[in-house]
Amino acid sequence: MEHTALLQGIHVKNGKIKTRTLTKATITVRAVIIFLTIFTLIGPFLLKYSTIDWPTAIFYTFDNLKMMFLQPAFNQITFGTAITQIVITLALAFLATILGAFVSFFLAISTAKNLAPASLSNAIIAFNSVIRAVPTVLWVLIFAIVAGLGAVAAVLGMMLHTMAYLTKAYAESFEEIEEGAIEALRASGASWWHIIFHCVLPQSASYLVSWTFLRFETNYGVAIAMGAAAAAGGIGFELFMSSSFYYDLHEVGMITYCALIVAIVLEVIALQIKKRLMTQ
């Protein structure tokens, strides 16, 4: 018993040292987990299901997946077309990323807490969270009313989300720059643009490149979805045609494989870029 007096701050219960202490954080974590568990258990009963014949549905799903992944084949389109469409999808993603990155850079220097006034920064953050809240596909469809369905609407819609995402990422990279470096330049009489181009940009360049490529990878996936949902062209549209119009799952499988290989290559490149830039 006299040991307990020595070990201050250590709680003993039934002769065992209590390893868990209740802080505000642990209580919150527990409450969140309990809430999510209950919601997950009750949730399925709150949904309305139209009648599903489960055994048949599951059987057909596996049958469809078998057709898709084990017997892929091109029927309506050729391999050449698929490659061309993938290049178009990549081009859409690239345009949205590069235009979004360009705008984001200027928004981010007006958002970073160490470079811009707080009121402007908060206004841009609020604006961006509204932009981000609307799904990309809705933006694309809204732009399509004025610009017509196609590449213009798709690129603009994807660009908006890219902009909201990259502004946040860029601003955070800018905020990590040492305050001393900026102060030193300011003290030597450098103009604001001098500070941006000779201190902020070179110091955060590797982060910016890494974030931008990561977003390009995401945009490739988004571009596929936009092709299917908003007729933006590219491999997504072919995917939509072969599944919803021709019901040709062999071709869906083949297209999926093509899109998958490109996506994995992009992911590996993104990882390599991140690794190389972060170790510098």
| Residues linked to residue 16 through DSSP beta bridges, in sequence order | 13
Residues 254-276: b if buried by 16+ CB within 10 A, e if exposed: bbbebbeebeeebeeebeebbee
Nearer to other proteins, 113 or 183 (CB): 113
Of 156-175, binders to other proteins (CB under 8 A) are 156
107 is an interface residue for other proteins by CB under 8 A: no
- Burial of 148 by CB count in 10 Å (0-12 exposed, 13-18 middle, 19+ buried)? exposed
Site string for other proteins, 36-55 (x = CB under 8 A): xx-xx--xx-xxxxx-x---
What is the nearest approach in angstroms of other proteins to the Cβ of residue 50? 6
Instruction: Find the DSSP H helices in 77-135.
Output: 79-109, 118-133
Of 231-250, binders to other proteins (CB under 8 A) are 233-234, 236, 239-240, 243-244, 247, 249
68 is an interface residue for other proteins by CB under 8 A: yes
- Say if residues 134 and 161 touch (Cβ distance below 8 Å): no
57 is an interface residue for other proteins by CB under 8 A: yes
Binding segment for other proteins among 5-13, 70-78, 104-112, 227-235 (CB under 8 A)? 227-235
229 is an interface residue for other proteins by CB under 8 A: yes
CB-CB neighbours of 63 under 10 Å: 11
Euclidean distance between CA atoms 163 and 129, whole angstroms: 11
Binding segment for other proteins among 5-13, 150-158, 169-177, 180-188 (CB under 8 A)? 150-158
Residues 26-52: b if buried by 16+ CB within 10 A, e if exposed: eeeeeeeeeeeeeeeeeeeeeeeeeee
Nearer to other proteins, 109 or 239 (CB): 239
Nearer to other proteins, 117 or 202 (CB): 202
Which tokens hold the place of 224?
A: 């596929």
Site string for other proteins, 108-147 (x = CB under 8 A): ---------------------xx-xxxxxxx--xxx-xxx
Euclidean distance between CA atoms 67 and 61, whole angstroms: 10
278 is an interface residue for other proteins by CB under 8 A: no
16 is an interface residue for other proteins by CB under 8 A: no
Question: What's phi and psi for 194, nearest 5 deg?
Answer: -60, -45
- State how far the alpha carbon of 197 is from the alpha carbons of 106, 114, 254, in Å: 12, 15, 47
What is the nearest approach in angstroms of other proteins to the Cβ of residue 56? 8
Euclidean distance between CA atoms 178 and 199, whole angstroms: 10
Binding segment for other proteins among 5-13, 94-102, 111-119, 173-181 (CB under 8 A)? 94-102
Nearer to other proteins, 1 or 279 (CB): 279
Nearer to other proteins, 186 or 250 (CB): 250
For residue 17, what is the enclosing H or E element?
Answer: strand 16-17
Nearer to other proteins, 68 or 182 (CB): 68
Nearer to other proteins, 181 or 201 (CB): 201
